[in-house]
Amino acid sequence: MAPAQPAPSRHPEQLVSDVASLPALPGVYRYFDAEGAVLYVGKAINLKKRVSSYFQRDHGGTRIGHMVSKIARMETTVVRSEAEALLLENNLIKTLNPKYNILFRDDKSYPYLKITGASASSNLGTSFPRVSYYRGAVEKKHRYFGPYPSAWAVKEAILLMQKVFRLRTCEDPVFNNRTRPCLLYQIKRCSAPCVGHISAQDYAQDVANAERFLRGDARQVMDVLEGRMMAHAERMEYEQAAELRNQIAALSNVLHQQSVDNVSDRDVDILAVKVQGGRACVNLAMVRGGRHLGDRPYFPVHVEDAAGVYSGDDEGAAPAPSVEAQVLEAFVAQHYLNVPVPPSLVVSEPVNKNLIKALSIQSGVKVTAVHQPREQRRQWLEMAQTNAGLQLARLLAEEGSQQARTRALADALDLALDNLDELRVECFDISHTAGEATQASCVVFHHHKMQNTEYRRYRIDGITPGDDYAAMRQVLLRRYGKLAESLQEAQRTGQIPAGTGRLPDLVLVDGGKGQVSMAREVFEQLGLDLSLIVGVEKGEGRKVGLEELVFADGREKVYLGKDSAALMLVAQIRDEAHRFAITGMRAQRAKVRVDGGKLEEIPGIGPKRRAKLLQRFGGVRGVALAGVEDIATVEGISRELAEEIYRVLH
């Protein structure tokens, strides 16, 4: 019997037609709501069978039913294999951020330990490679080791390179201009190649041994060092033999502290997942070169929604995997899109074999996943599971505390809210130095936490330097002017214009009566509700915990008490606004003073004169530090032009 068609009464005719015409081929599908927002991204071995299953069943009031009821449009992409479908699916998930998929937010790029490579340059430093912390795109001329789970782990490894192999960490300009050894040489953390205390050949041997150690060949390094020590001893070169003996002792001590140096695994990632209270944590522990480097927790979003819309296997034979397995598979698929995958994964839940196959194809490395490990691997996994549980418990405790603060604030200010999760607070602060580089910041608190992707900075121009009231007036007009116009248009026409945002439930301004009065004037001008405005006035002696809240609608000032959860939340938001404002102001001030700012923007300064200035003073900062008389000594720079350069840079 032919399969039932989607009910035309519930979905647009075009969607029904698209579903009916789908091919029985592997591919990826995307569901959109009426406003064009992406609801869900999925993959299928058989597009027709998988997509039709969403519309043929009555899902009732489940999450999948809620999602299906919102589907207004669909897009599909046909691919050649399930592996291609997996890769495309997770690329789209990371790009589109669909509401009903488990999402792992992009983290910063992982840090590496970098050993600089040799160069054809005459620079002395290139003959003596440097070990350093690095984050960013890799270059072929250098060697990189990692990735490491944290900056702390990299710095520990660098300290190890200094203790055992005495590799330099100073930058080339410092290295090339040393005339005597630095303190690191005195405390036996560097062999002082900058002043010739070690030959290039011996230093190269230390670098080679360090690289072997980082790759996990610690025993080979020990054997090489012991051989060199015995050779020096036979030639009665006892000082050199003693240095190598100390190096061997330091390395032995390090190996003794490493609990995993005797296993065959060199590069392994250990993945453990814990789900509780509607939240999940994936703990990633890293083993590189046979050494355990530490771990890092990841907390996905949309766990409950995503778990409820899993549609099962294409053939309908396999049961839906557990929520833990779905979370782990989502992490593996999304995380290793941009991060090198090691050849071995140790996982707390079974992972789809096709996913592992897709990772192998993508990376060009044979990847294996072990679900029920033994011996050392089992110890690693148990440790990762313990850490996942601890990190999730910490997150739930923090979120519970933050929700309590949100509730306390809503109660203290009598905010009428149907859903406490939707409380939105925007806070403004002004920052400058004696009127220079004035900036205003706006930070956003929503869903019980600071939403740093919604923060905004506003450069304030056209006011008297140091006039904080005028700066506050300008930023509030710029922030809410267009929104007020849209709301007024909606009142006249009864329709809300597309793209209209929403007013916050609370507008905090860092200041007392003066700033609140200015905010009240702006809101009266724009026709907005004055009860939204609250000022945070510093208490007696400007002591933390004595702040009072000032209202724009005429209510009396309120002192919440230094132990009040509501005041803690207000202080948290206010301090974040201040931090965000002052960092932007400092960056702007530095740009004004040093960068130009830019020399080529000064009338009369072309490429040749700019080059002569930079060559004479060693850079823009050097020019900025020079006086008018010094600048005027540069060929082609007149006294008048020197004064103009000095004026612009200061």
The string of pLDDT tens digits covering residues 125-140 is 567 899 998 887 777 7
- The more confident residue out of 264 and 518 is 518
Helix/strand/coil for 142: coil
DSSP state of 198: S
pLDDT at position 122: 44
Give the right CATH number for 596-649 from 1.10.150.20, 3.20.20.10, 3.50.50.60, 3.30.450.40: 1.10.150.20
Whether 557 contacts 549, CB under 8 Å: yes
Owner of token pair 């002569």: 612
Q: At what angle do helices 468-493 and 513-526 cross, to 10 degrees?
A: 30
- The more confident residue out of 1 and 364 is 364
- The more confident residue out of 92 and 563 is 92
What helix, strand, coil percent values describe the chain, rounded to 5? Answer: 50, 15, 35
Closest CA to 146 of 269, 36, 63: 269
The string of pLDDT tens digits covering residues 275-324 is 988 889 999 998 887 777 888 898 888 887 666 666 554 444 456 678 88
- Which is it for strands 279-288 and 291-298: parallel, antiparallel or unpaired? antiparallel
- The residue-averaged pLDDT of 193-197 equals 88
DSSP state of 457: E
* Ranges of each domain in the chain: 13-96, 268-312+321-389, 420-587, 596-649
Q: Phi/psi of residue 75, each to 5°?
A: -130, 145
pLDDT at position 477: 92
Q: Reply yes or no on domain 13-96 having CATH 3.40.1440.10.
A: yes
The string of pLDDT tens digits covering residues 407-420 is 888 888 888 777 88
Annotation: CATH topology of 420-587: Nucleotidyltransferase; domain 5 (3.30.420)
pLDDT at position 424: 92
pLDDT at position 348: 93
Indicate whether 259 pLDDT > 60.
no
Helix/strand/coil for 150: coil
Helix/strand/coil for 271: strand
Best-predicted range by mean pLDDT (118-122, 258-262, 436-440, 462-466): 462-466
- The residue-averaged pLDDT of 152-162 equals 84
The overall average pLDDT reported for the chain is 81
The string of pLDDT tens digits covering residues 11-49 is 778 888 888 888 889 899 999 988 888 999 988 888 888
pLDDT at position 585: 67
Whether 137 contacts 177, CB under 8 Å: no
- The more confident residue out of 62 and 98 is 98
Indicate whether 648 pLDDT > 90.
no
Tell me the pLDDT band of 425, cut-offs 50, 70 and 90: very high
Indicate whether 492 pLDDT > 70.
yes
State the distance between the two ends of the chain, measured CA to CA, in whole angstroms: 83
Report the length, in residues, of the chain: 650
For 54, 59, 94, 305, the CA distances from 63, given in Å and listed in that order, are 12, 8, 22, 6
Write the single-letter amino acid at 48.
K
Architecture of the CATH domain 268-312+321-389: 2-Layer Sandwich (3.30)
Indicate whether 182 pLDDT > 80.
yes
- The more confident residue out of 360 and 591 is 360
pLDDT at position 8: 42
Indicate whether 423 pLDDT > 50.
yes
- The more confident residue out of 556 and 123 is 556
- The residue-averaged pLDDT of 486-499 equals 73
DSSP state of 593: I
The string of pLDDT tens digits covering residues 567-619 is 888 888 999 988 888 887 666 655 544 444 466 667 778 777 877 887 777 66
Joined together, the tokens standing for residue 541 give 């002696």
Q: What percent of the chain has pLDDT over 70?
A: 85
pLDDT at position 255: 56
The string of pLDDT tens digits covering residues 210-254 is 888 887 777 777 777 777 788 878 888 777 788 778 777 766 765
Tell me the pLDDT band of 541, cut-offs 50, 70 and 90: low
pLDDT at position 1: 45
Indicate whether 165 pLDDT > 70.
yes
- The residue-averaged pLDDT of 338-362 equals 87
Indicate whether 444 pLDDT > 50.
yes
Tell me the pLDDT band of 61, cut-offs 50, 70 and 90: low
Q: How wide is the angle at C-alpha 256 spanned by C-alphas 255 and 259, nearest 5°?
A: 85
